[in-house]
Every structure is written in structure tokens, then in C-alpha cells.
Chains A and B, each alone.
Chain A
Amino acid sequence: AQTVTQSQPEMSVQEAETVTLSCTYDTSENNYYLFWYKQPPSRQMILVIRQEAYKQQNATENRFSVNFQKAAKSFSLKISDSQLGDTAMYFCAFTNYNTDKLIFGTGTRLQVFP
């Protein structure tokens, strides 16, 4: 069975600093996608970043970047120059080429302090 693990229930960072959120996953598949979603207090699920497993290059979206280590099955999210608006729950998620469903981790609550 495929699983996604986020071992940090809560993290905090000061504004303008950098923070890294951890995610590991377990699968026997070779082709899959990985995602980070953000859920602010408004409850909306917002896609932050997407990585295709066959791509060796780490995905980047402005201040957000990932460290994708396929052999280690690790997919961490780095947020640079943290902003107050980054305060949210962050969910790591996985889907493979043969299934429709996203499998989510348990989330990391990130608090950005001024």
C-alpha cells in the first residue's frame, strides 16, 4: 500500500527566514507524481508545487522549491523568505499513473512569526 508520512506536526519560522518541511512516501511504483498543497485558515486547498517522478530536476515555484530524492523516497518542501501569508497547514500528497486518488500525509502546521 502506498503511504505518505509527514513527521513534523508543527513548525515555526520567523519572517524572511527559510524553513524546510519533510515528507517521505512508500510505493513500489516507478512512475508517479508528488505534490505539496497549502491549506490556510480559509480552508481552501491550494496547490503549491508539483513534481513528476521521472524528472530528476527539482521543481521550483518562486519562493517554493523541493528536494526530491527518489531513491530515498523523500520529497521535502523548502520555503525561502517566509512571509506571514505562508502560515497554513501543508500537505504532501502522492498519486501514481495507475490510480485516480491523491494519498495525503497528515500535514504540517506552519506558523510564520513577525
Chain B
Amino acid sequence: DTAVSQTPKYLVTQMGNDKSIKCEQNLGHDTMYWYKQDSKKFLKIMFSYNNKELIINETVPNRFSPKSPDKAHLNLHINSLELGDSAVYFCASSPTNTDTQYFGPGTRLTVL
């Protein structure tokens, strides 16, 4: 009964490639998010969607494109991967746009 799931959990790829990370929540929440955790463990929001609509785009390079096919899914597509994209990416969801956020298990992306 996973609440917020992400696939894959680990992703190793070469510079310049394009990759996607998928996120699904079965909590019936309206709002979903992507966060990036860097090598120093600092967490920062990238995007938030409310009912499939983009609410926040936190000055993320346009190589990152979130897509929300429905309110239970928020996928992250990254074009032309760079070394600096290596990080752990967390998906999260919340029942309203200011309430508690529940996180997925994270995806560790390594760009070689």
C-alpha cells in the first residue's frame, strides 16, 4: 500500500542523455511536488502541481520538464543531462496546497 511511489529508485546514465522519473500517489491528494536533494543533503523545491496545473517553477533549467497526466501522477523528464544534475529527486504530495507533504522514497540520479 505504497502512498507515494517513484520509479526508478536508482538511475545511472551518461551526460547528454534524456531520462524520466515517474511518480504516483494513491492518497487522493490534489497537489504534487518535485524536490531536489544535493550532495550536501540540502532539499529544495523544483515544481509543484495542483490538479494537473503548474503552480511553482522554482527557476529550474528548462531541461527539466514536469508532466502531470492526471492528479495522481507527476513525472519529471530531464533532457541533456549534466554532471550537476546528479542528486536525489523526491516526489511528494499533499491534500491541499499548504498542508503536510508526504514524500516518495527518492530517486538517486547519477550522471557520469
Contacts and interface: CB of A to CB of B under 8 A. Distances in A.
Given A43-B88, A50-B100, A101 B43 contact: no
Interface in B32-68: 33, 35, 40-45, 48, 50, 55-56, 58
A44 interface: yes
A75 interface: no
A61 interface: no
Size category of the binding interface on chain B: 20 to 34
A33 interface: yes
B48 A100 contact: yes
Contacts of A95: 98
Interface of A: 33, 35, 37, 39, 42-47, 50, 89, 91, 95-102, 104, 106-107
Interface of B: 31, 33, 35, 40-45, 48, 50, 55-56, 58, 88, 90, 92, 97-103, 105-106, 108
